[in-house]
Amino acid sequence: MITATGLSKIYKIGPIEIRAVDGLDVSIGRGEFLSIVGPSGSGKTTLLHLLGCLDTPTSGTVSIDGVTTNSLSQSQLTRIRREKIGFVFQEFNLLPVLSARENIELPLRYLKVPAKERHQRSMQALEKVDLGNRAENRPTQLSGGEQQRVAIARALVTNPVLVLADEPTGELDTQNTCRIIELMRDLNLETRQTFAIVTHDAMVASYTNRTITLRDGRVASDVAGEGRIPECADDSPV
């Protein structure tokens, strides 16, 4: 479903050359639930940005759902991001002046989806993350876990084939981390959408079915994950 071949991203600071990603090959199948781990500076976030068409490679190719992205124009890349990829970040990136529902509707506005359909799809996405009763609340009226669930709903509302999450639990405590990963896992099983999660958290990685470890911009290992089922207590709100 997504393939990177000979992928490199090189930054130059004066005479210094930094190889954030260095000749990397990786292939991710449809419906996978995987984690990307490694020490700081190993290239995890850079790889995620390259796979998500948020950045362009110095060399190598990226193919998403059968489309090679290297030769595409910026407008074509934007369309792929809007239609095929959902993003979840460590910071929730919700607009404080908009309600949860309105934040989720934003990607659909960019796709020129009619207002009635936007409302229906945003409410369906909120129901998927069990926040249908908080649709009109603004971000400041939601807990950290609830804000991240809104961000996940926003990533899913366009029905993307790929969801890329960069440290999605980095701002959350252990209980909420468990609940968010449990939610992502359930959505992966329900929708068969591919989830690739960058994380420093070994607990998060243990819940995925495959773990890619990066070191110095290269794949150090690519192994089947533990695929543990999250066991989250029910007495702490998310």
**Domain tally for the chain?**
1
Q: Is residue 13 part of a domain?
A: no
For helices 100-110 and 144-156, the axis angle rounded to 10 degrees is 20
Q: Is residue 18 part of a domain?
A: no
- Residue-wise pLDDT tens digits, 192-216: 999 999 999 999 999 999 999 999 9
Q: How many whole angstroms from its chain centre is CA 89?
A: 7
CA distances from 96 to 18, 125, 191 (A): 37, 19, 29
* Domain carrying residue 205: 31-56+73-224
CATH number, domain containing residue 77: 3.40.50.300
Q: Is residue 172 part of a domain?
A: yes
Cα separation of 109 and 119, whole Å?
Answer: 11
Asked if residue 84 has pLDDT above 70, the reply is yes
Q: Is residue 125 part of a domain?
A: yes
Strands (E), 41-90: 59-64, 67-68, 85-89
Mean pLDDT of 169-193: 89
Give 233's pLDDT tier (boundaries 50, 70, 90).
Answer: low
User: Are 35 and 206 spatial neighbours (Cβ–Cβ below 8 Å)?
Assistant: no
Cα separation of 45 and 217, whole Å?
Answer: 10
Q: What is the mean pLDDT of the chain?
A: 91
Q: Is residue 236 part of a domain?
A: no
- Residue-wise pLDDT tens digits, 68-77: 998 899 999 9
DSSP one-letter string for 115-180: HHHHHHHHHHHHHHTT-GGGTT--GGGS-HHHHHHHHHHHHHTT--SEEEEESTTTTS-HHHHHHH
